């Protein structure tokens, strides 16, 4: 029988392999078989139904990465509802925007995130400790779903100042997980991505709906030491990392991927030098470039690279996956000739239903061709090469990729424009060669009250409302924004942000050998000439990928295992030195 919903397909898998391991969290010591996962999800589904959750209702999920998250997502679809994941790194105000638009849904959480504060919503359930969940029946609730019913709603950056919710269907998830590219290499997948992002569809549903295993990394940002240990000790066969994280691993520890059969990467332009470095070091590992969007149920195209066939130029977007039709179109939806640039439109059974409570945006992005075929307008410019592969050629409009996340600079501008003392603002993406990553830069014209319009005040205001990857890395104060003769923003005339001034040379007695080495490691990771012992990692422009890089270098040079979270919570050399001495006095 052909499955028409996620829960129906999962039930068939439980029947087939009830005692196989479905989910494991090796560093937390938890393992669930398919039968155990099914029974726990059934109990929670009955609890949700008892709270009044009906088919099609959204249910918010705010938890740390753990087996409880997988139970929660499965339980929501078993109740016939749609899960609404909230990223734990989101500011509370952004979570509130999302839950408000969803109409105060039931919220599933855990003790760790409950202690940090929750958005206002409907009933709050902590499944791990709720006695009503434990007392609920372990039998399947038997809720059927239409294949075009919404399975989940994932929010991405929106140009109007509010995040937009993408409604992904059961049909889309089932088609995605049935793709022929998911061979035996994808039976044991390491889950690193936040479950509030589209990659989680690959990490969770591909193994669970195909009889494989989800191996969960611990909460927080991944680091070289933890990923290395998990890949080696847990017999991981495949994983996905963002293009930025792939580049960090390729630079700092290219051998990390040797135990796996495939490593998937994407979300931004993939550095061919990073691919070649990994393939040179791990000749038996396949690197697969992935292209997609939340609106396409995660990935829609791929390009395979091996040691025998490494990239000899830019990494291509590749070819469509099963059931996906790619069209390069020009004005009036007219196809462009091979070799010429056109906007990519995608048709197929993985297209999202649209945007949650936003008919106008849905009609703008999901269009119909003259023959009646529904297509998603990606906003990506591409060209088809002589061998039939697609190459990325740019973006239509202002959307950009920052650290693998699609960002609308307009949303950041909306937040900044609302701050007192800001008369005008422009947010652009820059890559001035100071590092490997593109970054957002905000150009601000003060006006009226000036309190809080300095970089620190504005950075704090944005960080209180937007995810960390949407906080500009630099703020530049101008008397006026430069304009072209036509009155439009002259982006070419915007000055590059000044690099942080070199740190003053500390007193000799303050610069111990340990501090001197840490200062050097900080400076190298941040691409600076020098860093002082009391300079803040954040104020010097540091962010999570650089923290991962720095943690890896500390481990390699000092033999002390630290995480990116350790660096982010001890952002100066002096603070980190204290932590390192507590962990292992010998290296310093």
Residue 147 pLDDT: 97
Domain membership of residue 11 (yes or no) is yes
Based on the fold, state whether residues 240 and 100 are members of the same structural domain: yes
Q: Which position has the higher pLDDT, 290 or 160? A: 290
508 domain residue, yes or no = no
Residue 444 structural domain: 408-493
Residue 181 pLDDT? 95
Residue 278 has a pLDDT of: 97
Residue 168: C-alpha distances to residues 188, 327, 349 (Å): 24, 21, 11
Tell me whether strands 30-33 and 21-25 are parallel, antiparallel or unpaired: antiparallel
CATH number of the domain encompassing residue 30:
3.40.50.12780
Token readout for 134 is: 């434990």
Q: Do 550 and 575 have their domain in common?
A: yes
Evaluate if residue 506 carries a pLDDT over 70: no
Angle at the Cα of 219 from the Cα atoms of 216 and 225, rounded to 5 degrees: 80
Last residue of a domain, one of 365, 395, 425: 395
In this structure, are 103 and 252 located in the same domain?
Answer: yes
Q: Which residue in 299, 350, 293 sits closest to 173, CA to CA?
A: 350
H/E stretch holding 346: strand 342-348
Banded model confidence at residue 490, pLDDT cuts 50, 70, 90: confident
pLDDT tens string 48-70: 999 999 999 999 999 999 999 99
Q: Let me know if residue 152 belongs to a domain.
A: yes
Is the confidence at residue 487, as pLDDT, over 50? yes
Beta strands in 103-176 (DSSP E): 106-109, 124-125, 150-156, 164-169
pLDDT (average), residues 432-447: 75
> Looking at residue 438, which CATH number applies to its domain?
3.30.300.30
Residue 270 has what pLDDT?
A: 87
pLDDT, greater one: 497 or 131: 131
Higher pLDDT, 560 or 108: 108
What pLDDT is stored for residue 451 in this prediction?
57
> Band of the pLDDT at 480, cuts 50, 70, 90?
confident
Does one domain contain both 379 and 423? no
What CATH number did the domain enclosing 355 receive? 2.30.38.10
Rounded mean pLDDT of the chain? 90
Question: CATH number for the domain including 579?
Answer: 1.10.1200.10
Q: For residues 38-48, give the mean pLDDT.
A: 98
CB proximity list for 166: less than 8 A, separation 6 or greater: 153, 154, 155, 156, 198, 294, 295, 352, 355, 356
The verdict on 362 and 418 lying in the same domain is no
Do both 278 and 387 map to the same domain? no
Mean pLDDT for 561-583 is: 87
Q: Are residues 384 and 412 in the same domain?
A: no
**Does residue 507 form part of some domain?**
no
- The pLDDT-based confidence of 300 (bands split at 50, 70, 90) is very high
Calculate the alpha carbon distances from 471 to 6, 417, 458, 460 in Å: 36, 14, 9, 9
pLDDT in tens, 214-254: 999 999 888 888 999 999 999 999 999 998 889 889 988 99
The pLDDT value given to residue 434: 47
Token pair in block for residue 216: 């969960």
- Residue identified by tokens 């649209």 is 354
Convert the pLDDT of each residue in 344-381 to its tens digit. 999 999 999 999 999 999 999 999 998 999 999 999 99
Res. 563: pLDDT tops 90: no
275: Cβ contacts below 8 Å, ≥ 6 apart: 250, 287, 289, 305, 310, 311, 315
Residue 33 sits in the same domain as residue 90: yes
Which residue has tokens 């009889």? Answer: 211
The rounded distance, in Å, linking the Cα atoms of 123 and 104 is 9
Higher pLDDT, 152 or 411: 152
341 and 451 inside one domain: no
For residue 505, pLDDT over 60 is answered with no
Cα separation, 561 vs 538, whole angstroms:
21
Q: What is the pLDDT of residue 542?
A: 83
* Residue 200 forms part of a structural domain: yes
431: Cβ contacts below 8 Å, ≥ 6 apart? 437, 438, 439
Q: What was the pLDDT predicted at 486?
A: 61
The whole-number pLDDT of residue 515 equals 85
Neighbouring-strand partners of residue 424:
445
pLDDT for 343: 95
Query: Among residues 268, 545, 240, 242, which one has the least CA distance to residue 400?
Result: 268
Is 396 or 37 the better-scoring residue by pLDDT?
37
Provide, rounded to the nearest whole percent, the portion of the chain with pLDDT above 70: 93
**3-class DSSP state of 303:** strand
- Shared domain for 233 and 160, answered yes or no, is yes
Separation CA 437–CA 442 (nearest Å): 16
| Rounded Cα distance, 470 and 500, in Å | 20
Give a yes or no: residue 311 inside a domain.
Answer: no
Is 317 part of a structural domain of the chain? no
Residue 412 sits in the same domain as residue 391: no
**φ, ψ at 391 (rounded to 5°):** -120, 140
Whether residue 503 is predicted with pLDDT greater than 50 in this model: the reply is yes
Do 204 and 125 lie in one domain? The reply is yes
Name the domain count of the chain.
4
Choose the final residue of a domain: 395, 429, 450.
395
- In the listed set 463, 493, 523, which residue is the last one of a domain according to the structure? 493
Average pLDDT in the 309-329 region?
94
The answer, yes or no, to whether residue 204 has pLDDT greater than 60, is yes
In a domain, 401, yes or no: no
What is the reported pLDDT for 62? 98
Q: Does residue 150 surpass a pLDDT of 80?
A: yes
């Amino acid at each position: 029988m052909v499955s028409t919903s996620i829960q129906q397909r999962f039930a068939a898998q439980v029947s087939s392999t009830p005692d196989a391991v479905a989910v494991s969290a090796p560093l937390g010591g938890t393992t669930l078989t398919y039968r155990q996962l099914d029974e726990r999800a059934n109990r929670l589904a009955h609890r949700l139904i008892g709270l009044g959750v009906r088919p099609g209702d959204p249910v918010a999920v705010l938890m740390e990465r753990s087996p409880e998250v997988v139970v929660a997502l499965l339980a929501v679809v078993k109740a016939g509802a749609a899960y609404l994941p909230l990223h734990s790194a989101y500011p509370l105000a952004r979570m509130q925007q999302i839950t408000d638009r969803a109409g105060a849904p039931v919220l599933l959480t855990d003790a760790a995130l409950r202690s940090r504060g929750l958005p206002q919503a409907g009933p709050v359930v902590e499944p791990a400790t709720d006695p009503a969940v434990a007392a609920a029946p372990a039998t399947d609730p038997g809720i059927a779903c239409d294949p075009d019913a919404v399975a989940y709603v994932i929010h991405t950056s929106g140009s109007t100042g509010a995040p937009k919710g993408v409604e992904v269907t059961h049909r889309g998830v089932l088609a995605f997980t049935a793709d022929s590219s998911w061979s035996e290499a994808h039976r044991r997948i390491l889950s690193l991505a936040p479950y509030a992002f589209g990659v989680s569809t690959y990490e969770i549903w591909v193994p669970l709906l195909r009889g494989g295993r989800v191996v969960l990394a611990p909460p927080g940002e991944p680091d070289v030491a933890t990923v290395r240990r998990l890949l080696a000790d847990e017999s991981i066969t495949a994983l996905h990392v963002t293009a930025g994280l792939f580049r960090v691993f390729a630079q700092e520890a290219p051998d990390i991927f040797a135990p796996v059969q495939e490593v998937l990467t994407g979300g931004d332009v993939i550095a061919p030098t990073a691919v070649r470095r990994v393939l040179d070091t791990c000749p038996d590992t396949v690197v697969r470039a992935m292209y997609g969007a939340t609106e396409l149920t995660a990935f829609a195209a791929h390009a395979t690279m091996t040691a025998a066939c490494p990239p000899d130029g830019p990494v291509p977007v590749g070819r469509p996956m099963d059931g996906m039709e790619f069209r390069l179109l020009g004005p009036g939806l007219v196809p462009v000739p091979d070799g010429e640039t056109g906007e990519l439109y995608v048709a197929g059974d993985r297209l999202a239903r649209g945007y949650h409570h936003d008919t106008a945006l849905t009609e703008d992005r999901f269009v119909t061709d003259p023959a009646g075929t529904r297509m998603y307008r990606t906003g990506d410019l591409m060209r088809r090469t002589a061998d039939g592969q697609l190459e990325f050629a740019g973006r239509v409009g202002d959307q950009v990729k920052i650290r693998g996340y699609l960002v609308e600079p307009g949303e950041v501008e909306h937040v900044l424009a609302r701050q007192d003392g800001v008369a005008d603002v422009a947010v652009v993406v820059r890559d001035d060669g100071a590092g490997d990553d593109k970054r957002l830069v905000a150009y601000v014209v003060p006006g009226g009250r000036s309190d809080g319009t300095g970089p620190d005040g504005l950075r704090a205001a944005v960080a209180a409302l937007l995810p960390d990857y949407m906080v500009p890395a630099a703020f530049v104060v101008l008397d006026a924004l430069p304009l072209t003769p036509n009155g439009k923003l002259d982006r070419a005339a915007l000055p590059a942000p000044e690099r942080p001034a070199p740190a003053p040379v500390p007193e000799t007695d303050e610069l111990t050998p340990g501090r001197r080495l840490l200062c050097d490691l900080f400076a190298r990771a941040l691409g600076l000439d020098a860093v002082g012992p009391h300079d803040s990692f954040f104020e010097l422009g540091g962010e999570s990928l650089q923290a991962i890089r720095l943690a890896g270098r500390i481990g390699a040079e000092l033999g002390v295992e630290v995480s990116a979270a350790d660096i982010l919570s001890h952002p100066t050399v002096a603070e980190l030195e204290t932590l390192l001495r507590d962990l292992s006095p010998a290296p310093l």
